């Protein structure tokens, strides 16, 4: 039975899988680990084959490492369409966002979808700008939901035998708060989410302080999804 086994030893990606503790340390939305991890999938043309790899920060950010590796190993002539999916523990900083846009402008046959576990220094205006520019240039950016955690666990993690279905279930509220903040970024609104970390007990605190502009611009269902916001009576 599949549930009795870990990833198949015939799986060519086995050596590229990360350990369960790494996945949980990097992708826990409440952990705020400094280093970043990138899990990515590449599909070429109409092929059904998916290439999977993982990468971490070195002296450079994971996004830059990806671009350098990808452009040095692949030859783009004749051009074949290529779809890339990233699962990133932190959203790209503004410098990486700029590098990604350059990479995509040089390789128009490449499409990129990015799932992020957390928003990197999301109060920083340059980072907000960087994400917005990426989205405006055609990149899809979404916060990782339970389905993405499950997908990554099954395809990128060297889970122990019998634990195929034991991907980490983080509080849904964290995903919703990050999704709300991503909306603020897309709509050029000021931040409404504050994240702080108490060193003594290693706890992460999320505080939501929506302003009038948030009530006016953000779709009500996204605000209400957090269950922390009550719409003003004047809301239409």
User: Residue 68 catalytic?
Assistant: no
Q: CB-wise, 61 or 118, nearer to Zn ion?
A: 61
Q: CB-wise, 94 or 170, nearer to Zn ion?
A: 94
Pairing, β 193-198 against β 203-208:
antiparallel
Q: Is 34 left (phi over 0), alpha (psi -120 to 50) or beta?
A: alpha
Q: Give the nearest distance from C-beta 97 to Zn ion in angstroms.
A: 8
Helical ranges in the chain per DSSP H: 20-27, 62-73, 94-106, 125-136, 146-156, 172-186, 212-217, 220-225
Q: Strand 37-44's sheet: what is its strand order? A: 51-56, 37-44, 82-90, 110-118, 140-143
Q: Give the nearest distance from C-beta 230 to Zn ion in angstroms.
A: 37
Q: Give the nearest distance from C-beta 124 to Zn ion in angstroms.
A: 12
Among the listed residues 19, 22, 31, 63, the single catalytic one is 63
Could you list the residues that contact Zn ion (CB under 5 A)? 61, 93, 96
Residues with catalytic annotation?
63
């Amino acid at each position: 039975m599949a549930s009795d086994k870990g990833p198949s030893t015939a799986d060519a990606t086995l050596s590229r899988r990360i350990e369960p503790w790494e996945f949980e340390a990097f992708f826990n939305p409440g952990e705020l680990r400094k280093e970043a991890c990138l899990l990515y999938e590449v599909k070429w043309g109409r092929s059904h084959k998916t290439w999977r790899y993982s990468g971490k920060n070195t002296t450079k950010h994971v996004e830059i490492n990806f671009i350098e590796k990808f452009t040095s190993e692949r030859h783009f002539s004749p051009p074949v369409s290529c779809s890339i999916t990233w699962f990133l523990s932190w959203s790209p900083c503004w410098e990486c966002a700029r590098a990604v846009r350059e990479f995509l402008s040089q390789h128009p046959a490449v499409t990129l979808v990015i799932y992020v576990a957390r928003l990197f220094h999301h109060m920083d205006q340059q980072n907000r700008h960087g994400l917005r520019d990426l989205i405006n240039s055609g990149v899809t950016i979404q916060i990782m939901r339970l389905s993405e955690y499950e997908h990554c666990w099954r395809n990128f993690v060297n889970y122990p035998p019998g634990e195929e279905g034991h991907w980490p279930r983080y509080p849904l509220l964290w995903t919703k708060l990050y999704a709300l903040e991503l909306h603020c970024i897309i709509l050029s609104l000021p931040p409404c989410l504050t994240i702080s970390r108490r060193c003594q007990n290693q706890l992460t605190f999320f505080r939501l302080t929506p302003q009038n502009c948030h009530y006016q611009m953000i779709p009500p269902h996204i605000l209400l999804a957090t269950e922390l916001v009550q719409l003003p009576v004047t809301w239409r």
